[in-house]
Amino acid sequence: MSGRFKSSKVTRGGVYKRRGRPGRKITQIKDSDLPPVEDVEMEALKRTEADVGITEYIGAHKGFSAVIKQRYSDFHVSEINQEGRLVELTSLSCDIESQAPKTFGKDVTLDDCNDLTPEVKDKLIQMEKSDFSNVEIEVTNMSKDERKRIHETIKNVFGARVVSNTIEKEEKKIMVIGKPKGKQRVDDWTQGKGRYVYFVLYKENMDTMEAANIISHKLRLAPGKVTYAGTKDRRGKTTQLACVPHIHPKKLVELNTAVRNITVGNFSIHKNPLRLGDLRGNRFRIVLRNVTASDDDVEEAASTLKERGFINYYGLQRFGSTSVPTHHIGRALLRSDWKEAIELILKPRAQVAVHSKFKKPNHSLEDSLAKARKIWWETRDSHAALQALGNKPRGIEGQLLLGLKRHKPNDLVNALEGISLNTRLIYLHSYQSYVWNHVVSRRLKEYGYKPIVGDLVFDENDGLDEVSETIDELTENEEIVAESLENENKEEGTSSVSQDRKYLVTNNFN
């Protein structure tokens, strides 16, 4: 989010409703139910805060002008995780043994298995340390539960380094315990801590979706497998958490030499994936240049910011950094105008960024995407456009072009499903942010800054932790709505989410 206060007058240098089950009615949202979006295309650098609903100030002091983001190094963003700690890149080591327990899920040793004799336990220890032959245990007279406990103990103690199987041999049941043979995968580096690898992603002059697409391409992951808690500005130096499923940190570290402007490190293992909204906030360090104000004016503005805070607007970065604003795409998806959404995503851009280059001579992903967009725009031939990307679904455009190629010309919904869920969520969140900014501005224009019925206010008599938890629950509303929308087609009857969404829009803009 971006704040706006009196002294900050500065110049700046996707989800959609799936098809229902047969016979199910899909509620259409009328154009009149939605706030208008400017149809005239504008270059990103010329987009103003007023264009996205940011019009009010919280301070009454004398304002001043300045330049923000004249250089991308003037803008630093560090994510704050759910525990309230600042996300920082402090280690590039791929060694995660110190972060994962030695045992599988909990502290278990061979001594915990009373079904094994001391002799067998000694053989297992020797086998694990050397090339000792397989250990065989007769389990004919053991129950299924007893055999299961032995298998679980072996797995918990040794992980994937040792395997155990029960076989029939000379009319007896024999449990064979030994090292994996042949090309059997030995994969015990997670040690049972989980299957999701979290890492700190540091990037420069690149937006989060672009960085995630590059990482997934380099790791040969399906689109959307690289997840993150929130999007960060393109023009800046940003640090945030990201997540991939079951990729060894050794492979992730290779990104540091294979891709420009991206550095990863501080690896850890977790049981659950990182999702949008899994953060407390962000910390900013911002340089203002060409300040047209006296020291006294700047001091007064800083004091007002400290004492009164700022309006919790969504800033320009929320709406994209290209000539096609992301909230335009979000609005098209919300209206179920799939054709318009596809047109906007594949529309040639007014500007081309040149920073997202792979370490290959004269090769730029952005250049390839620009060529693919141009081919599709002129020919509407998804196959030919995809060839410009090497027939690979690179970037959001590549994902969409592959979807268009695989499905029938009129099957636009399934084509759009080729785009990762996170990206579709971001398009929807962008339009929600557009609505939020307009609602906040209208609220302040009509009622001023004093609390009215319906406002959430901080009570100094209550504990901060309790209020923080309440705010956290409210700010998670977008995630809840998104998950509900994603599961609409799994439920019977008309979705209440659509009605709530329609109510929100119509009651604020009619």
Q: Minimal CA–CA distance to 348: which of 373, 321, 380, 317?
A: 373
> How many degrees, rounded to 5, is the angle at CA 324 between CA 484 and CA 18?
25
Rounded Cα gap, residues 344 and 352, in angstroms: 16
The angle that helices 395-406 and 208-219 make with each other, rounded to 10 degrees, is 60
Among 33, 74, 207, 233, the one annotated catalytic: 233
Q: Minimal CA–CA distance to 363: which of 345, 324, 389?
A: 389
Which amino acid makes up residue 142? M
Rounded Cα gap, residues 425 and 417, in angstroms: 12
Give the containing element (helix H, strand E) for 67.
strand 65-68
* Torsion angle of the four alpha carbons 320, 321, 324, 325, in this order, in degrees rounded to the nearest 10: 30
Question: Helix count (H) and strand count (E) of the chain?
Answer: 16, 14
Q: Hunting for tokens 């609409």 — which residue is that?
A: 488
DSSP 181: -
Rounded Cα gap, residues 492 and 226, in angstroms: 32
State yes or no: is 411 an active-site residue.
no
Question: How big is the chain, counted in residues?
Answer: 510
Helix (H, G, I), strand (E, B) or coil at 154: helix
Contact by Cβ (8 Å): 205, 355? yes
> How many degrees, rounded to 5, is the angle at CA 148 between CA 142 and CA 151?
110
Rounded Cα gap, residues 244 and 221, in angstroms: 9
User: C-alpha distances in angstroms, 57 versus 18, 64, 286, 448, 478?
Assistant: 40, 12, 19, 11, 26
Q: Minimal CA–CA distance to 19: which of 409, 453, 414?
A: 414
65-68/288-289 β-pairing: antiparallel
Sequential DSSP letters for 70-106? SSGGGEEEEEE-TTSPBP---------GGGS-SSSSS
Enzyme catalytic residues:
233
